[in-house]
Chain A
Amino acid sequence: MDNNVSSNLQTLLECKGITKKYGPFTALNFTNLKIAKGRIIGLLGPNGSGKTTLIKLITGLLTPNSGEIKINGLVVGTETKKMVSYLPERTYLNSWMKVCDIIDFFADFYSDFSKERAYSMLSKLNINPKDKLKTMSKGTKEKVQLILVMSRNADLYILDEPIAGVDPAARDYILKTIISNYSENATIIICTHLISDIEQILDDFIFIQNGSLVMASSVDEVREVQGKSVDALFREVFKC
C-alpha cells in the first residue's frame, strides 16, 4: 500500500521501505511514504513512536539499516542538507556566541539564509542581536533557533516540537511566523503533541505508532468525511 499524502502533487520527499534498528530493537519499519511540495504536514504519534527517528533519518543524523530516503530525487546526504532546514527539539546553540555571531554562522554555511529576515524577526520579538545566548532564557533560545531555521529559503522545513517550550502568546506568533515565512513550494513537517494548537494550519497529517505508519491523510478529508478534528481522531486511534 502506498501512503501518499496528496499524491497528485509533485513529490518532495520519498521514503522507500526504511528500517532503523537500535541494537535488537526496531525503532522504525516504514512502508512507502511520499510527501508533496507545498504542504504543511503534522507528524503525529504517541511518545516513543519513532517520530524523532524518522526526522533524524530525513536530516541525515541517522543512517537507515535498509531502504532509502530521497529528497528532490537525491538520497539523503550533503546535497540534501542544503535543502532541509531543521529545528531539533533541543537547543543546539553554543552559549558563548552572540545572536549576531550565529546569524553570521548560518549565513556562511547556508546560501539560502536571509540575514534581513532574521534581523527583522529578532526585532519583532524584541531580541537584541548583541545579546549572548548564555544570558537568555530557554524560551528565548528556542525563539532564536526558530528564527534561524525559518530565515532560510529551504525546500523542506522540519520542526520538532517548535512550540512546546514557549508560552501560548508566543505560540501564536511562532505559528504565524511559520506560515508567513515559507514559499508556496516549500513543505513543512511539524512534529508535536499539541495537536489542537497546530491543527488550524495543517494541510495533512501522518500518524505513526511503534515505528510504523498508521494513517496518512489530508485534514480536510478527516473533517469532511469523518466529521472529526485531527485531535479527536488522534485520541481515538491511540486510545490507551
Chain B
Amino acid sequence: MLGKLMKYELKATARWFLPLYCGIIIFAVFSKISTTVINLEEIKHLSSDNLFIQMIVNTAMLVSAFLYAFIIITTIVMTFVIAIRRFYKNLLSDEGYLMFTLPVSSHKLLLSKFLTTMIWYVCSIVVIMISLFILFISKEFFGALLIFPEAISQLLDEFSKVPSLMIFSILTLIDTFISFPFLILMIYVSIAIGHTRHNHKVLYSFGTFLGLNIIISIISNIISFIFFLPYTNLFFSFSPVSDYTFDNTPINRVDNLAVIDATFNSLNSLLIFSLIFSVALSVAFYFVTNYILSKKLNLE
C-alpha cells in the first residue's frame, strides 16, 4: 500500500518537478552553447573591435548568470513549497476526506509524503549537479577530471595527518544532508499542531514553527556554550597573532597540527551530539505528527 501511495504522490508532484528539471537542463545546454559561440576565436575577434557587440555579449552573460541563479533558487524553494502544499492540501484540507478513509494507516500516508519529498530532494540535487556539469564541461574540465583520483588521494593524504579534520568534513556533510528532512518534519509537525485548532489554523501553524525554532536554537546554544567552555584556552592558544594569552602568560605553542587536531576533535564531539539531537528531534516530530493525524484529526 505504501508503494501505491507513493506512486500517486509521485504522479501528483511530478507535474511540478519534471518541467522544472527540463527547464534547468535546457537552460544549462543553451548557456553552454552560447558561451561556446561567444568564445570562438572569430567571434572574439569580431567583438573586440566593436564596443556595442561587446556590451551586448557582456549583458547577455550577466543576465544568463542571474537567470541560472534564479532557477536554482526556485528549484530549492519549490522542493519545500510542494512538500508543504502536498501535506497540507492532500491530507488536511478537503482531499483529506478521501485519503483518511482509504484502508491505509496514517503511518503510510505520512511516510509516503515524506519519502516522496526526499526523492525529489535527491533528484533536485542531482539535476543541479548535472546542470553545473553541462555548464562547466570543457577540455580543461576533462583534464581536471583525469587528475581527480590523484587529487583525492592527495586530499586523503592531507587528511591522514589530521584525522579529526576528515571526520569533521564527513560529519558536516551528513549534517547538511540531514537538515532538509529535519526541516520538513518540523514543518509537518507545525502544520499538524496548528490544525488541531478550530480557527486560524495557518496562523497557529506558523506560530508553532517559529516557537519550535526559538526553543531549538536556545537549547542548542546553551549546549554549545556549555560544551565550549572547557576549550576556551585551547582556542586562545590557537591564535596566530600573539604568543601570549590575555594575562600575558606565554603560550606553549605545541606542534600546530596537533592543536588543529585537538580543536577539530572537540568540534566533532559537538557535531556528533548535534546530529543525534537532530535525528532524535526528527523522530519525535514524525511520531507527534502521526499521533495527531491518527488520533486528533480535525478536518473541516
On whether the two chains bind one another, the answer is yes
Name 5 interchain pairs, CB-CB below 8 A, sorted by A.
Answer: A61-B299, A63-B296, A92-B97, A109-B1, A109-B102
**Binary interface profile of A, 88-102, with partner B (CB < 8 Å = 1, else 0)?**
101111101000000
When chains A and B are docked, how far (Å) is the Cα of A91 from the Cα of B95? 8
CB distance from A35 to the nearest CB of B (A): 18
List of 6 A-B pairs having minimum Cβ-Cβ separation, nearest first: A92-B97, A92-B98, A81-B103, A82-B103, A88-B97, A109-B102
Decide: A94 and B90 in contact? CB cutoff 8 A. Answer: yes
Q: Is the CB of B101 within 8 A of A110?
A: no
Contact B95 A61 (CB under 8 A): no
B94 on interface, CB distance cutoff 8 Å: yes
A101 to chain B, nearest CB (A): 8
Instruction: Tell me if B90 and A60 are in contact (CB < 8 A).
Output: no
Name the residue of chain A whose CB is nearest to the CB of B105.
A78
The range of chain B's interface size is 20 to 34
Using known A-B contacts A59-B101, A78-B103, A84-B101, determine if residue A90 contacts B297 with beta carbons closer than 8 Å.
Answer: no
- Assuming A62-B297, A110-B103, is B12 touching A94 (CB within 8 A)? yes
- Closest Cβ–Cβ distance, residue A74 to chain B (whole Å): 12
Q: Smallest CB-CB separation from B90: which chain A residue?
A: A94
- The answer to whether the Cβ of B200 comes within 8 Å of any Cβ in the partner chain is no
Question: Are B198 and A94 touching (Cβ within 8 A)?
Answer: no
- Measured between beta carbons, the chain A residues less than 8 angstroms from B295 are 63
- Closest-by-CB residue of A relative to B98 is A92
**Which A residues are in CB contact (< 8 Å) with B96?**
61, 92
Q: Are B101 and A86 in contact (CB under 8 A)?
A: yes
Write out the residue numbers on chain A whose beta carbons fall within 8 Å of the beta carbon of B8.
105, 108
Q: Verify if B4 is at the interface (C-beta below 8 Å from A).
A: yes
A116 part of interface (Cβ distance < 8 Å): no
Residues of chain A whose beta carbon lies under 8 Å from any beta carbon of chain B: 22-23, 56, 59-63, 78-79, 81-82, 84, 86, 88, 90-94, 96, 105, 108-110
- Whether B139 is near chain A, meaning CB under 8 Å from some CB there, is no
A-B contact count (CB 8 A): 54
Q: Which of B1, B4, B101, B299 has the most CB of A within 10 A?
A: B101
Contacts of B299 in A (CB 8 A): 56, 61
Closest to B299 in A: A61
B264 to chain A: closest CB distance in Å? 50
Considering the complex, give the chain B residue whose CB is closest to the CB of A109.
Answer: B102
A22 near B97 (CB under 8 angstroms)?
no
Binary CB contact string for chain B from 67 to 108 against chain A (1 if under 8 A, 0 otherwise): 000000000000000000000001000111110111111000
Cα distance A94–B294 when bound, in Å? 22
Interface centre among A79, A82, A84, A94 (most CB of B within 10 A): A94
Question: What's the nearest-Cβ distance from chain B to residue A154, in Å?
Answer: 11
| Residues in A neighbouring B296, C-beta threshold 8 A | 63
Is A109 touching B103 in the complex (CB atoms < 8 A)? yes
- Chain A residues within 8 Å of B105, by CB: 78
Q: Which of chain B's residues have a CB closer than 8 A to the CB of A62?
A: 297
Assuming the A-B contacts A61-B299, A105-B8, A108-B4, are A93 and B103 also in contact, with contact meaning beta carbons closer than 8 angstroms in the complex? no
Residues of A within 8 A of B102 (CB): 81, 109-110
Q: Are A94 and B103 in contact (CB under 8 A)?
A: no
Closest B residue to A102 using CB positions: B98
Q: Choose one: B1, B4, B94, B103; the contact of A79 (CB below 8 Å).
A: B103
Q: With A and B bound together, what is the CA distance between A10 and B54 in angstroms?
A: 88
What separation, in Å, do the CA atoms of A34 and B12 have in the docked complex? 41
Minimal beta-carbon separation of A22 from chain B (angstroms): 7
Q: Cα distance A84–B102 when bound, in Å? A: 9
Query: In the docked arrangement, what's the CA distance between A81 and B101, Å?
Result: 6
Smallest Cβ distance from A50 to chain B, in angstroms? 16
User: Are B198 and A23 neighbours in the complex by a CB distance under 8 Å?
Assistant: yes
Chain A residue at minimum C-beta to C-beta distance from B108: A78
Q: Which residues of B contact A23 (CB under 8 A)?
A: 198
Minimum distance in angstroms from B290 CB to a CB of chain A: 13
- Given A91-B94, A92-B94, 17 further pairs, Cβ under 8 A: A22-B198, A56-B299, A59-B101, A61-B96, A61-B100, A62-B297, A63-B294, A63-B296, A81-B103, A82-B103, A92-B96, A92-B97, A92-B98, A93-B98, A94-B90, A108-B4, A110-B102
Tell whether A109 pairs with B97 under 8 Å between CB atoms, given A78-B105, A79-B103, A82-B103. no
Contacts of B294 in A (CB 8 A): 63
Of B1, B8, B103, which is in contact with the most chain A CB atoms at under 10 Å from its CB? Answer: B103
Quote the shortest CB–CB distance from B113 to chain A (angstroms): 14
